[in-house]
């Protein structure tokens, strides 16, 4: 059973930066064998895709709303995935979730239904 633990959220002002981390643990669940993704759920809204990274890290995908501001990356040696968030906006306020998928492909890694393990989430609040 994998455990995904997010950290790095907080309260910041518009224009600030944050880096979220997602540490994975569990027997055999090294992140290099999985596609890893970040999703977010704003209050009163459905959870949506933010970014994903392929198993070997050669391919990434970011939602249009965060392109140029957010960057997903990973360190296999630390079994950790990151989401660097720059130029934050109030509309980025949400609970951010880390997720892991064994069956997703590069074409489907933006789809929530492809992910089978989820973290508890970390709150990001951006004030104007």
**Residue 24: per-residue pLDDT:** 93
Q: Looking at the predicted structure, is the pLDDT value of residue 116 above 70?
A: yes
Query: How far apart, in whole angstroms, are the C-alpha atoms of residue 35 and residue 19?
Result: 19
- Of the candidates 72, 73, 79, which has an alpha carbon nearest to the alpha carbon of residue 5? 79
**Residue 28: per-residue pLDDT:** 65
Q: What percent of the chain has pLDDT over 70?
A: 98
The model's pLDDT over 38-64, given as tens digits with 9 standing for 90+, comes to: 999 999 999 999 999 999 999 999 999
Q: Looking at the predicted structure, is the pLDDT value of residue 108 above 70?
A: yes
Q: Looking at the predicted structure, is the pLDDT value of residue 67 above 70?
A: yes
Average pLDDT over residues 81-92: 98
3-state helix, strand, coil in the chain (%, to 5): 10, 50, 45
**CB-based burial label for 71 (10 Å; 0-12, 13-18, 19+):** middle
- Of the candidates 29, 50, 21, which has an alpha carbon nearest to the alpha carbon of residue 116? 29
Average pLDDT over residues 79-103: 97
């Amino acid at each position: 059973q994998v455990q995904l633990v997010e950290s790095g959220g907080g309260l910041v002002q518009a224009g600030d930066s944050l880096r979220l981390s997602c540490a994975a643990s569990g027997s055999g669940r090294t992140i290099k064998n999985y596609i890893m993704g970040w999703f977010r759920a704003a209050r009163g809204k459905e959870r949506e895709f933010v970014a994903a990274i392929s198993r070997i890290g050669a391919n990434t995908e970011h939602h249009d709303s965060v392109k140029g501001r957010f960057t997903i990356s990973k360190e296999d040696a630390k079994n950790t995935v990151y989401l660097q968030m720059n130029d934050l906006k109030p509309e980025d306020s949400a609970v951010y979730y880390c997720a892991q998928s064994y069956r997703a492909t590069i074409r489907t890694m933006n789809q929530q239904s492809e992910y089978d393990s989820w973290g508890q989430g970390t709150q990001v609040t951006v004030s104007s």
